[in-house]
Amino acid sequence: MLNVLARARISRVLDPIGAALARAGVSPDVVTVAGTVGVLIGSLGFVARGELLIGTLIVTISVLTDMLDGAIARARGTSSKWGAFLDSTMDRIADGAAFGSLAFWLAIEGRKSAAAAALLCLVAGVIVSYAKARAEGLGLRCDVGIAERSERLIIAGVGALLEIAGVPYGLEVVLWLLTALAVFTVGQRVHVVWQQTHRPAAVEQADRP
């Protein structure tokens, strides 16, 4: 949802930066991988040890940096299926590292409910992304969702800030809320795909030999 509403504004900020990096010969693939490496460092090196402040800062900067790859590709006019594949794959690795590290630290701290919520956030987030990828692979549209990747990362960041500020149960509540939103998003995408595959024209075409 945020991607659709804020895409024009974000592009106005990122496109000039992307154009400058493209002129400097920076590859969008390099930026994609670098952003993921940054998330891995912030997550595995700091979040997993409970150092949420610096970990969240590194992850946030890395995610913002990763958003530049599309701007560079547009400036170079080299958008490709490979770039889309690499970007999606790196996103899954980054999400796994972030929520997995958080779940690990919470489990070590004996906060079982919060750790379970973090794991469910990870699983639900993967399903959200898979549902869209599978639908598009079948030639269907699936651009819906109240909690896409951008929203999930922002909400998780809010939870980390609440934890840093010492708000009781703040992180746990946010993680359970995020889980619920992700599950709802899966439902939205399943519903949209169901509608497209059960339209009279689609059913008639599927029944043809």
pLDDT value at residue 202: 52
Range 167-189 burial, b when 16+ CB lie within 10 A, else e: eeebbbebbbbbbebbbebbebb
pLDDT value at residue 208: 53
91, 95, 143, 207: which one is catalytic? 91
Is the per-residue pLDDT at 79 higher than 90? no
Q: What is the pLDDT of residues 97-133, one digit of tens each?
A: 999 999 999 999 999 999 999 999 999 999 999 999 9
pLDDT tier at 204, thresholds 50, 70, 90: very low
Spatial separation of the C-alpha atoms in residues 60 and 195, rounded to whole Å: 36
Is the per-residue pLDDT at 203 higher than 70? no
What is the CATH number assigned to the segment(s) 2-207? 1.20.120.1760
DSSP state letter for 198: T
Q: What is the pLDDT of residues 30-58, one digit of tens each?
A: 999 999 999 999 999 999 999 999 999 99
Residue 91 annotated in active site: yes
DSSP H helices in 144-199: 149-164, 170-197
Percent above pLDDT 70 for the chain:
90
Average pLDDT, the chain: 87
Coil, helix or strand at residue 168: coil
Range 101-125 burial, b when 16+ CB lie within 10 A, else e: bbbbbbeeeebeebbbbbbbbbebb
Is the per-residue pLDDT at 6 higher than 60? no
Average pLDDT for residues 6-33, to the nearest whole number? Answer: 81
DSSP state letter for 55: H
pLDDT value at residue 154: 82
